Structure 1
Amino acid sequence: MNLDLVRNYLLGLQDRLCALMEEVDGKAKYHTDEWKRAEGGGGRTRVIAGGTVLEKGGVAFSDVRGHALPPSATLARPDLAGKYGFDEDAISWHQAAKAATGSNYLKFKKGCDDYFILKHRGEARGIGGIFYDDFTEGGFENAFALMQKVGDAYGPAYAEILGRRKDTPFGARETEWHEIRRGRYVEFNLVFDRGTIFGLQSGGRTESILMSLPPRVQWRYCHQPAAGTPEERLISHYLKPQDWLAGS
């Protein structure tokens, strides 16, 4: 097992993802924060803010070594949690996931559907994607090859969706809904996400652990979108696990 190969690939992937997102945004640039861990290892956290498309975002790399690794060190979980639903986006996202994972797609998709659930609300976090943990089938070479396929597919798949939606007009209603849905993301991250929970409980680097939390968010008491609206359709249709590739 050559860990330097993995490290070099992930650092290169971080570079490519950041360059791609900067290109899509057209304005903002990533700030780089390199850090060391007293117990060994370290990382490189990159955060972008105040862009024309990306209000806030981050791409983090961690090299943490030890006997009790956090769950986030051994898993991949590209999922999509949009605030408005579009069939075209869901289909293209899952097509990219299937192309990257091949015969593992259905298993990884189910893993994603099962993991990204707000159990207290009975609601999915998004339209899914893939999730796998401790994948060792076929040994290191096979697992590393799969990881590279997933990593290489993620950026272009997400950038394609951003390109389609970044110029969509929006107003106060859409902004309010966006911030309400961000609240669901915060709930999941702080209540259920294994990597977040482990990191905070084990004294991990707080700034990196919480970097994905949104800058503005709302919780509205007993908020329900009106029937027949795009907001209601997100809940009733898109946040239900389904076969997005049926007939495609």
Structure 2
Amino acid sequence: MSSQPAASPVAAATLEARREEARIWFEGLRDRICAAFEALEDEAPADLYPGEPGRFELTPWKRGNGSEDLGGGVMGMMRGRLFEKVGVHCSTVYGSFSPEFAKHVRGAAEDPRFFATGISLIAHMRNPHVPAVHMNTRFITTTVSWFGGGMDLNPTQDYQRREDFEDAKDFHAAAKDACDTHDPAYFEKYKKWCDEYFWLKHRSEPRGVGGIFYDHLDSGNHDADFAFTRDVGEAFLEIYPEIVARRMDTPWSDADREEQLIRRGRYAEFNLLYDRGTKFGLETGGNVTSILSSMPPEAKWP
């Protein structure tokens, strides 16, 4: 693959090993998350969630028109009884940015070749009292390399959209633990970044209750940056299934569902107007179905 400027054989071998290590980690995390979500499908009470438990369908895809190898990925989707719609996707893509898009990507103006590998997920829950969630982590190289990602919680009920609510407190605490292991300054920095990033400017309101968001993480210590990125994934895998398990027994009303659908509309607005990952995927010729799978299965704009 011609996705990186020329380098010494040693440097090129090191970079290739780092790319492969990151890809393997993201795909392994995907497998563990899918298994945890399927277990919750099995455990959900039948009186609230009738029918058979859902299972993930994994669909491989290739980038480009098939005449050259530009990478691809695996789209993982589940339409379940507890998880109304959840996507857990991994992709590894490479090639060259368009001249216009390269101007906006770190290190690409000098040379448009790139490599990107990562995991991205969004879960929209059937029960309005179970918060929706988003998480992604990625490793990107142009003429430089960096990690990015984060996780944020998106409750759809008014009483849950407070930072002092139990779910938000526990979600933030898990993110803080992951941050504090590496740098005590990370949590406040990345929490603030998350709050500012997931802000609906046209409505002057947040998308959810936040979490952490980081990008262009290149401290000069690749192993440390990768370790932090792994810990973000581990924190998500630990806390979100716990939140789902504690809320999934709660009955809901038609009014709760109505509120959920309206809040989902806000989620869709953000992803279509502001989300960097959506724009990156579309600009680099990614799988459109996978990219737009973040859209909720139902939403309302009253």
TM category, shorter: 0.7 to 0.9
Structure 2 partner of 1:19? 35
For 1:55, which of 68, 78, 84 is the aligned residue? 84
Structure 2 partner of 1:83? 156
**1:198 is the counterpart of 2:280:** yes
Displacement after TM superposition at 1:69 (Å): 6.0
* CA deviation profile, 1:147-203 (whole Å, cap 9, x unmatched): 110111102211111011111110110111100000000000001101212322443
**1:65 is the counterpart of 2:94:** yes
| CA root-mean-square deviation | 1.7
Residue 187 and residue 69 in structure 1: after superposition, are their counterparts in 2 closer, same or farther (change >3 A)?
farther
Letter in 2 for 1:94: H
For 1:35, which of 61, 65, 74 is the aligned residue? 61
Letter in 1 for 2:167: D
Unaligned 5+ segments in structure 2 are 1-14, 43-52, 96-112, 119-135, 140-147
Letter in 2 for 1:4: E
For 1:92, which of 170, 187, 190 is the aligned residue? 170
Letter in 1 for 2:269: E
* CA deviation profile, 1:200-233 (whole Å, cap 9, x unmatched): 244321001001111111001xxxxxxxxxxxxx
* CA deviation profile, 1:115-144 (whole Å, cap 9, x unmatched): 000000000001010000010114210111
Task: Determine the C-alpha separation between the residues in 2 that align with 1:202 and 1:42.
Answer: 11
Flag the structure with higher strand content.
2
Other structure's SS at 1:120 match = coil
Identity %: 42
2:278, 2:291 within 8 Å by CA — same for their partners in 1? yes
Q: TM-score, length-normalised on structure 2?
A: 0.69
Structure with the larger RCO, 1 or 2 (CA within 8 Å, 6+ apart): 1
Displacement after TM superposition at 1:36 (Å): 1.6
Unaligned 5+ segments in structure 1 are 221-248
2:264, 2:296 within 8 Å by CA — same for their partners in 1? yes
Other structure's SS at 1:129 match = strand
**1:44 is the counterpart of 2:74:** yes
Q: TM-score, length-normalised on structure 1?
A: 0.84
Displacement after TM superposition at 1:68 (Å): 4.7
Letter in 2 for 1:193: D
**1:181 is the counterpart of 2:277:** no
Other structure's SS at 1:133 match = strand
**1:144 is the counterpart of 2:226:** yes
Task: Determine the C-alpha separation between the residues in 1 that align with 2:251 and 2:202.
Answer: 33
Task: Determine the C-alpha separation between the residues in 2 that align with 1:33 and 1:194.
Answer: 23
Other structure's SS at 1:91 match = helix
Task: Determine the C-alpha separation between the residues in 2 that align with 1:77 and 1:192.
Answer: 16
Task: Determine the C-alpha separation between the residues in 1 that align with 2:284 and 2:220.
Answer: 32
* CA deviation profile, 1:6-56 (whole Å, cap 9, x unmatched): 11111100000000001111111000011122351111110000x221000
Q: Deviating runs (4+, > 3 A) in structure 1?
A: 68-74
Structure 1 partner of 2:104? none
